[in-house]
Amino acid sequence: MAGGKIRKEKPSRAGSSHFQGGVSFHKSKGQHILKNPLLVDSIVQKSGIKSTDVILEIGPGTGNLTKKLLEAGKMVIAVELDPRMVLELERRFQGTPFSAKLKVIQGDVLKCDLPYFDICVANIPYQISSPLTFKLLSHRPAFRCAVIMFQREFAMRLVAQPGDNLYCRLSVNTQLLARVSHLLKVGRNNFRPPPKVDSSVVRIEPRKPLPSVNFKEWDGLMRICFNRKNKTLGSIFRQKSVLSLLEKNYKTLKALELSQKGLSEDTPMEMDVSELGDANDDLNMEVDDGIDEEMELEDDDARGEGSEFKDKVLSVLKQDNFRRRGHPSSCKRSS
C-alpha cells in the first residue's frame, strides 16, 4: 500500500503475487521466483545433472529450484545476497535429509570467491547477467556447464550467429570462450512477481583449453569493430581516430620490445577473461545515433612521412575486400 485509504479486500490479493512463505520479493533486486513446478523440472532435466555433481546455484530465493537440485546432485552451494532469503532457505530445509547437502553462502556473487563446482544452474538477477557470465567463465578449475535463466534479449545475443541482427560484441566474446545454446523460452507469467520481459534458459559449456589470446587486446579490438551498428569494417578501420589509436598502441608495443607478452604470461588467465564482462551489455545494444563526425582516411591521405603503419592497415582492407563487406555482424570469426 502506497498512500490512500486501506482497503481490506486487496492486501491478500496483492500479497499473493509478491509473497511466498511470508517473504516479500523486491523487483529492484531482481527477485523473480520461479513458481511453475513443471518448468523447474524441465530446467533440471535439461541440465544433465549427475548424482556426483556439486551444483552452484545463484540467487536461490525461497528454494523452489534448490529442492530439485538437491534431489538430483551430490551437493548444492547456494549464493544469496538477501539475508531474508538466506533465513528462509535454511528454515525450509532444516531437519530434512537435504540439510547436510546444502551449503548457503550469503554475499554478492560478483565479489565473493566461488568454491569448486561441477555445474551451475541458476535463475539470476538480470542486471548482473554479463559480469556474472564472464566471472563464471573465468572460474578455475573450469566447470562442465552452466544452465542459466537470462532476460530473453540478452540470451538471444549470447547465442546469435554471424549475420543475425543481434550478433554483437557480447556474442563474439562469449562464443570465443564457450559453446552456447538456447534451451527453452520462458514466459513472464512463470515468475512471482512477473517481470516485464520474457526469459530464456541458455546452456554454456566452457571451451577447453581456452584460446591463447590476450583478452584485453581482443576486447579492445571487438569494441572498435562493434562501436557503430551500421558501419562496415572497412569504414571503421579507415577512420583517422581509429588509425591513430592503433598506430599509437603499435608504436608503444614496439618501444617496449613486446614486454606485454611477459605481462600477459604473469597475469592469471582468470583476471583477463573476467574483464570481458561489461554491465552495460545487460541492457544496452550497440547503437548508431546517426551522427558521424569521424573523417575517413582516403588512400592518398596515407602517403607521406610516417604513414607506413596506415599503409599496412589500408592494404589489409583492400586485400580482404573489407570496403565492400557489411557490419561485423555479417563476418564470421576466423579460426
Q: Give yes or no for a contact between 297 and 238, defined as CB atoms under 8 angstroms apart.
A: yes
| Average pLDDT for the chain | 79
**Whole-number pLDDT of residue 56:** 98
pLDDT at 13 over 60: no
Domains of the chain: 12-206 (3.40.50.150), 215-330 (no CATH)
Mean pLDDT of 319-324: 62
The string of pLDDT tens digits covering residues 120-149 is 999 999 999 999 999 999 999 999 999 999
**Whole-number pLDDT of residue 90:** 93
Strand partners, 57: 78
Residue in the structure block whose three cell numbers are 584460446: 211
Q: Give yes or no for a contact between 270 and 332, defined as CB atoms under 8 angstroms apart.
A: no
Lowest-confidence region among 72-86, 140-154, 239-253: 239-253
Provide the grid cell at 95: 531437519
The candidate with the shortest Cα–Cα distance to 238, out of 165, 168, 172, 325, is: 325
Coil, helix or strand at residue 228: coil
Confidence band for 285, pLDDT divided at 50, 70 and 90? very low
CA dist 217 and 242 (Å) reads 14
Strand partners, 122: 148
Lowest-confidence region among 73-87, 225-239, 262-276, 280-294: 280-294
**Whole-number pLDDT of residue 298:** 53
Question: Burial level of 71, CB count in 10 A (0-12/13-18/19+)?
Answer: middle
CA dist 100 and 302 (Å) reads 69
**CA-to-CA dists, residue 118 to 76, 101, 204, angstroms:** 10, 15, 13
**Alpha-carbon radius of gyration of the chain:** 24
- pTM for the whole thing? 0.77
**Whole-number pLDDT of residue 293:** 46
pLDDT at 83 over 60: yes
Q: Tell me what percent of the residues of the chain surpass a pLDDT of 90.
A: 47
The string of pLDDT tens digits covering residues 88-132 is 999 999 999 999 999 999 999 999 999 999 999 999 999 999 999
Binding-site residues: 32, 34, 59, 80, 108, 123
> Between the CA atoms of 264, 265, 270 and 271, what dihedral angle is there, to the nearest 10 degrees?
-30
CA dist 34 and 63 (Å) reads 9
The distance in angstroms from the start CA to the end CA of the chain is: 58
Angle at Cα 47 formed by Cα 44 and Cα 48, nearest 5°?
A: 105
Mean pLDDT of 237-248: 84
The string of pLDDT tens digits covering residues 257-274 is 556 555 554 444 444 577
Q: How far is CA 34 from the centre of its chain?
A: 21
Mean pLDDT of 238-251: 83
Binding-site residues for S-adenosyl-L-methionine: 32, 34, 59, 80, 108, 123
CB atoms within 10 A of CB 146: 25
**Whole-number pLDDT of residue 191:** 86
Mean pLDDT of 227-231: 75
Coil, helix or strand at residue 195: coil
Report the relative pairing of strands 23-24 and 19-20 from DSSP bridges: antiparallel
**Residue 148, CA atoms < 13 Å, CB-side half-sphere:** 29
Tell whether the torsion through CA atoms of 82, 36, 65 and 23 is positive or negative. Answer: positive
CA dist 322 and 324 (Å) reads 5
Strand partners, 75: 54
Residue in the structure block whose three cell numbers are 513458481: 35
pLDDT at 296 over 80: no
